Structure 1
Amino acid sequence: MSERFVVVGGDAAGLSAAAKARRADPDREVVVLERGAWVSFGACGIPYYVKGEIPELEDLLVTSPEKLVGKYGIDLRRHHEVTAVDPEAGRVTVDGGGERYELAYDDLLLATGGHGATPDAPGGDLDGVFTVRSLDEGRALREYLTPGAGTRPGVPTPPTDRFHEHLGEVEAVAVVGANKIGLELVEAFDARGLAVHVVDDGAHVFERGPLTLPPFGPAAAGIVEERLRERGVELHLDSRVERFVGADGAVTAVETGDERIPVDAVLVDEGVEPNAELAAGAGIELGATGAIATDAYGRTSAPDVYAAGDCAEKHHHLLDEPVHLPLGLAANRGGRAVGATVAGTPTRVGPVVGTVVMKVFDLEVACSGVLDAETAREAGFDPVTETVTTISRAHYYPGGSRIVVEMAAGADDGRLLGAGLVGEEGCAHRVNAVATALHTDLTVGELADLDFGYSPPFGPVWDPVLTAAKAVDGDLG
């Protein structure tokens, strides 16, 4: 009998692991247990589905269940929820198919993901208060804004406590948390003709980061705030939500310490919390972040049990400590590594440096590494920071626009610590050069000497990243 690899969770990390294990060891039995209906989907596309740019929710599926079963030979069991893990016995308890059963494993991967955090404020359970981390939540939000937009004839309504009959016309919406998903959904709400309020307890957007993601830097924050106001978005900064006010079970206002903001719907983006309860109940060690602690290969404190994706910690290359970064690439990469390891080829999950890219209306906003001075000092660095304003194309080539780059380096050795970029074009992919430099421990002087490509339609002869590196290197003397 072949060894059995059981995967709990059917999205990025879980299915990457399952597919890799089957490819590397075709004789291995691979069972994926997913408590919901959806598997293998692109959650990062939900804001564009809510906006209407992505017509159908099914368009966000990466791989169909039929392909997972037919091509890869995975035993995929949807609507099967793992309720307990027994590492000593090497088995899990499952509720599914109308029964409860136990399933033995030789190797187990916990890829249970994360959920949207909510403020510790009364009224969070009112109708019209949403977090968006799953396809069901995205469909429920779209349906709430425009009845009928989230459903199609012949397609069953997915089971979710946030999918309900519309309670009134939505004209104003509040985004609580000026973070990545929240600000991407601002554009979606604006496109639907809604009045949009952004409520955040920081003095600026991105100031704290949403529990887990690094701040983009003050330069980016200022430009994003200016663009939001230009588009008519009302910013309520330095404002902590005290409670959500409701009538007849539906939200009608957001109340802060200073004001009462009438709204018809609320989107909360206070960050992502790991779904680590299953691991904790099995006595598996959690890290300081609250996510599941793992080693370089994704192994947990329990024998033959791995964790990957948004439920697990990652190792930050620059900070040299565990962090909780719920990002898509890290989840896919971590799952793939675990799949290779259980199939017989030990593979490191790999470190992260916190590379994040987002879109706010027509702005590209990107960062990698550490820009926050306090965080850098806590990690033992003495940061030196420069902000440069340059152009996205050669000055004589039409269509160019401004790019602002904020970059930090260590004062003692010049090691690159991080950079943030914001502009209307040319930021989203340039940040990958910064990530590469961080992973390879380059100094800003070494970064400034790299041989980047040049062509007038795509950038000036001195690329914005090189220009910023030169500026910081000059400050270091």
Structure 2
Amino acid sequence: MTEPFVVVGGDAGGLSAASKFVRESAGDSDDHVPATEREVIVFERGQWVSYAHCGTPYFVKGEIDHLSDLLSLSPDDVESRGIDLRRGHEVVGIDTDAETVTVAGPSGDRHTQSYGDLLLATGARAITDPIPGTDADAAFTIHGLDSAAGLRALLTPVDDFSVADLGGGDALDSEEAARYGAMDPPETVAVVGGGYVGIEMCEALAAWDVDVHLFQRADHVLPAFGEAVAEVVEEHLREQGITLHLGEAVDHLEQDETGRVSRLVCTGGTELAVGAAVVGVGVRPNVELAEGTDIELGESGAIATDEFGRTSVAGVYAVGDCAEMHHVVTGDPAWVPLGLTANRAGRAVGQTVAGDRTEVGGIAGTAVLKAFEQECGRSGITDLAEAREAGFDPVAKTITAGSRSGYYPGSEETTVRLVADRETGRLLGGSIVGRDRAAIRIDTVATALEAGMTVGEVERLDLAYAPPFSPVWDPVLVCAKVLAGALSE
């Protein structure tokens, strides 16, 4: 096959696939990749490519100096790999019968590009439609580097601001950044949504000495992590000076005569005068290209794929935040938009297209989060109602144990919650929170889920022990021991 391998989307999944395809096609695993006979073209509608979205809160906070520090690959790096990268080119249509895509260029001109294999790595977009007013100035979603640059520019005192200090190069919307840099910094900022983005942005904003208010529709933050984790995080957020508005749904944002957000209004009547707002109420997969074609969507609304990332149309693949994947606990398709998932699946698809068929792997929804000094982790099914819907009879136990031997300095309370199926004893999921290397301990749970281990098998794992690192019984083992006892009752 000589028709190009066409990739739509130049971030994690897309460029992982393109890079792996070139390396495999060239038969060269070294950094230097010779040219291949078959072309790979990556269309990216924006200017940013291969960037670390998860690092944006730390850029806003100021821990990361420059936007360029968040780039895994620069455009020049991509080109040097033998990839034809076309920034500012948006794929606006797919004809799966003709095996072509329609592309709108930077000047608005359109052309047709044929493909031999096609990968959709179109990602996801922030949800804003439930809350009117999110289009106001100084209302941010932090879903992209330009958004993060705008917020950091706004937070920086006017006399100290310089567009050059952001370090975005030619990809940065410098005009927009300069506009925000000329505005007076806010004294009060509202964060809407207590999920990943909301919690991380509370820490980032607090570093700028602004009054931060977090609004969460549910009664607890971090619903994906469970109540045990949420309660620890909520107490810690209050200790850090964050004002929590739990169980309060935001109705709309208002703006002043200049168009800048000025007030937040909740459905219950609560109002707050603000100088900026960060809205993080979730994301939605970008699947518009698939709609109206034979490419099927799954129940989640993301693109349905098989174990090799293939869609319902031959020669068309999908990876990353726009695609479903196989869940290792339920065995069903699931949509969990996370960075490793996109990178790993993209790499596998690139290898498959190059001729070495490779599975994209399953997912457990493993995630970690830093909330000031508290570290949080989760993997698998942690919600009992969700477990029942999947056909399990769930049993859960929560423990709190020391992170190190009690006599060794630095030990911190670590809370672990594990969920298992009563009938089979199989581990279904878990969550963890604590100040001392708690988050990384969730990898033990993730590995056990991938292996389909029972709680009894987890309890008998030979985990490392030394006083500076762990007690004899690691907190995960303690929780497994307690849960195994409950299952035997």
Identify the residue that residue 214 of structure 2 maps to in structure 1.
Answer: 198
**Does residue 152 of the first structure (1) align with residue 161 of the second (2)?**
no
- Contact in 2 for aligned 1:119/1:241 (Cα 8 Å): no
Aligned ranges for residues 15-34 of structure 1 at < 5 Å?
15-26=15-26, 27=36, 28-34=38-44
Q: Between Structure 1 and Structure 2, how many residues are aligned?
A: 469
Identify the residue that residue 402 of structure 2 maps to in structure 1.
Answer: 391
Aligned ranges for residues 355-366 of structure 1 at < 5 Å?
355-366=366-377
Cα drift, residue 281 of structure 1: 4.0
Give the distance between the partners of 2:334 and 2:265, measured in 1 at CA.
32
**Does residue 403 of the first structure (1) align with residue 417 of the second (2)?**
no
Cα drift, residue 68 of structure 1: 1.5
Cα drift, residue 231 of structure 1: 1.0
Cα drift, residue 145 of structure 1: 2.0
Say which SS state the counterpart of residue 332 (structure 1) adopts: helix
- Contact in 2 for aligned 1:130/1:162 (Cα 8 Å): no
Cα drift, residue 159 of structure 1: 3.6
The one-letter amino acid paired with 2:133 is G
Report the TM-score when normalising by structure 1. 0.95
Aligned ranges for residues 158-237 of structure 1 at < 5 Å?
158-159=172-173, 163=177, 164-165=179-180, 166-207=182-223, 215-237=224-246
Cα drift, residue 119 of structure 1: 4.8
Give the distance between the partners of 1:169 and 1:436, measured in 2 at CA.
45
Cα drift, residue 97 of structure 1: 4.8
Identify the residue that residue 260 of structure 2 maps to in structure 1.
Answer: 250
Aligned ranges for residues 23-172 of structure 1 at < 5 Å?
23-26=23-26, 27=36, 28-70=38-80, 72-98=81-107, 99-146=109-156, 147=158, 149=161, 151-152=163-164, 155=169, 158-159=172-173, 163=177, 164-165=179-180, 166-172=182-188
- Contact in 2 for aligned 1:119/1:270 (Cα 8 Å): no
- Contact in 2 for aligned 1:140/1:150 (Cα 8 Å): no
- Contact in 1 for aligned 2:47/2:171 (Cα 8 Å): no
* Unaligned runs of at least 5 residues, structure 1: 208-214
Report the TM-score when normalising by structure 2. 0.93
What per-residue deviation string (whole Å, max 9, x for no partner) do you get for residues 390-417 of structure 1? Answer: 0111111111111010111111111101
Cα drift, residue 13 of structure 1: 0.2
Give the distance between the partners of 2:195 and 2:251, measured in 1 at CA.
19
Residues 276 and 18 (structure 1), Cα distance of their counterparts in 2 relative to 1, 3 Å cut: same
- Contact in 2 for aligned 1:402/1:423 (Cα 8 Å): yes
Cα drift, residue 278 of structure 1: 1.2
Give the distance between the partners of 2:380 and 2:170, measured in 1 at CA.
43
Aligned ranges for residues 322-361 of structure 1 at < 5 Å?
322-361=333-372
Give the distance between the partners of 2:339 and 2:132, measured in 1 at CA.
31
- Contact in 1 for aligned 2:4/2:40 (Cα 8 Å): yes
The one-letter amino acid paired with 1:200 is Q
What per-residue deviation string (whole Å, max 9, x for no partner) do you get for residues 96-149 of structure 1? Answer: 253321111000000011111125122121111111121111111211222565
Identify the residue that residue 469 of structure 1 maps to in structure 2.
Answer: 480
Say which SS state the counterpart of residue 313 (structure 2) adopts: coil
* Unaligned runs of at least 5 residues, structure 2: 27-35
Say which SS state the counterpart of residue 430 (structure 1) adopts: helix
- Contact in 2 for aligned 1:91/1:105 (Cα 8 Å): yes
The one-letter amino acid paired with 1:10 is G
The one-letter amino acid paired with 1:89 is A
Say which SS state the counterpart of residue 299 (structure 2) adopts: coil
Identify the residue that residue 211 of structure 1 maps to in structure 2.
Answer: none
RMSD over equivalenced CA pairs, Å: 1.7
Identical-pair percentage = 49
Say which SS state the counterpart of residue 248 (structure 2) adopts: coil
Identify the residue that residue 327 of structure 2 maps to in structure 1.
Answer: 316
Say which SS state the counterpart of residue 174 (structure 1) adopts: strand
Residues 297 and 149 (structure 1), Cα distance of their counterparts in 2 relative to 1, 3 Å cut: farther
What per-residue deviation string (whole Å, max 9, x for no partner) do you get for residues 226-248 of structure 1? Answer: 00011111111111111111112
